[in-house]
Structure 1
Amino acid sequence: MLHLTALGWCLLALTAFVGGFSKTALSGAATAAVVLAALVLPAKESTALLLVMLLAGDAWAIRTYWRDADWRLLVRLILPVVVGVAAGGVFLGRVDDHLLRRTIGAILLVLLVVGLLTRHHRPGRVEGQLYGGLAGFTTMVANAGGPAMSLYLLGARYGKLAFLGTTAWFFATVNLVLKLPVMISLGMMTRPVVLTGLALVPVVWLGAWVGRLVVARLDDMWFARLVTAFVVVSAFYLVLA
């Protein structure tokens, strides 16, 4: 496993808890997990470790919400997401990381404003594919695919459970089928990183369990408000970090 101080382990445990919570409650909370992991480890190690945690959270989220996904939407998003992830892989190696993050944050803020101004209009298929491509791109370059998907699903008036079920399957597929092979090919999934991630899986699942309890007490209106708030925080973090 990775050699860490006591403080480092505490921060990673908090990262794991927040990552699990984001999978079953508020996906935007994953941004906080990204920040916490980056405080402890270099960029590549923190990204790889976070993916191990998120995969564990994906498993719990699917177990919890597996019946609630919108499969027609997920099938429609396959191509744009693959294109988005591929584009993210290209830009990741050629464009300054800080510039990319700020650009993504600015795009999210613009989309948020547009969504508020057109809140009585439900996005169509073309808009859904654009959001899917953006989600694939942002999850590849900044582990920030959640806000883009959240904006689309909120605009499409998805209820709480349909929202969580669809995002659970969406990110489980993206993380396992697209991101994991890329990180393995880049040599980022080292033995110490994987073992450390596996050691923190129980904490991830604890966070996911707590997230499920919290969501059960929220109605659709408050759920939408909190998701929107996390999108705003995530966007500003990307712009200002």
Structure 2
Amino acid sequence: MSNLDILLAVTATLLLGFGKSGIKGLGVVIVTLMALVFGGKASTGILMPMMITADVFAVIYYHRHTQWIFLKKLLPMMIVGVLIGVWWGNDISEVLFKQIMAFFILITVVIMIWMDRTKSIGIPRHWAFSGFMGLLSGVTSMIGNLAGAFASIYLLAVRLPKNEFIGTAAWLFFIINVFKLPFHIFVWKTVDEKTLQLNLLLTPALIIGFFLGVRLVKVIHNDLYRKLVLFVTAAGALIILFR
């Protein structure tokens, strides 16, 4: 690895810790930086153990705010989506996948902005909405570690306050990432002894990023937090579309 590769990997790991602390929408940047260093598919396996480690920190710190009812709505179809992603991940064109994902993210963000501007108080409760968002989250989680955009949109749509949003997302991704890990080890073979050694070297940056993020989240007001997540999510979709 060159010095630039090390810098990119450490930066991505810092951002991963930052994102898991509650600063959502950074997934696209993290995945892009890691893919530049290690390649697309290989980078998903390198990220997986670090994501689970950061999930553990987030679950411990925010567990008291978890809203389990929304996990129950999202998880079943999210698991189905992961299984589809395992099967589909080796065959789909990466360009087509990115374009479809970016399209859905941008459409849903536009809907969310419209709901905010019109002061719509309706909260989507139909099972089809949670099922659709869960399915998209699962597929994109397995193929690109990019489920955060769809999960964030869903949790914003049901109007969870900041801490409840973070606590619910923490448990959601801890469960789904643990579920994904065996597929990375035994099917895609993207996690092995060498990648775990690299994870150990990057872990300090992950921890630093998490606790810096926690301090920032504390000072962000609920309304500003909602707008920040929407903005970063939309920006991430544009990066996916045009990178």
Cα separation, 1, equivalents of 2:113 and 2:2: 45
Given candidates 156, 177, 183, the residue that maps to 1:175 is 177
Aligned residues between the structures: 237
Matched, 1:184 2:185: yes
Cα separation, 2, equivalents of 1:132 and 1:184: 23
| TM-score normalised by structure 2 residue count | 0.93
Partner of 1:92: 89
Partner of 1:114: 111
Q: 1:28 Cα shift?
A: 0.9
Given candidates 210, 213, 227, the residue that maps to 1:211 is 213
| TM-score normalised by structure 1 residue count | 0.94
Cα separation, 2, equivalents of 1:68 and 1:130: 24
Unaligned stretches of 5+ residues in structure 2: none
Superposition pairs of residues 66-77 of structure 1, within 5 angstroms: 66-77=63-74
Superposition pairs of residues 1-241 of structure 1, within 5 angstroms: 4-119=1-116, 120=120, 121-126=122-127, 127-177=129-179, 179-185=180-186, 186-241=188-243
**In 1, are the aligned partners of 2:45 and 2:190 still within 8 Å (CA)?**
yes
Q: Percent identity?
A: 27
RMSD between superposed Cα atoms in Å: 1.3
Q: 1:117 Cα shift?
A: 2.8
Task: Give, as a single letter, the amino acid of the residue that structure 1 aligns with 2:185.
Answer: I
**In 2, are the aligned partners of 1:12 and 1:40 still within 8 Å (CA)?**
yes
Q: 1:133 Cα shift?
A: 1.3
Cα separation, 2, equivalents of 1:23 and 1:183: 21
Unaligned stretches of 5+ residues in structure 1: none
Cα separation, 1, equivalents of 2:41 and 2:73: 31
Q: 1:136 Cα shift?
A: 0.9
Q: 1:149 Cα shift?
A: 0.8
**In 2, are the aligned partners of 1:56 and 1:205 still within 8 Å (CA)?**
no
**In 1, are the aligned partners of 2:10 and 2:202 still within 8 Å (CA)?**
yes
Deviating more after overlay: 137-146 vs 222-231: 137-146
Runs of 4+ residues over 3 Å off in structure 1: none
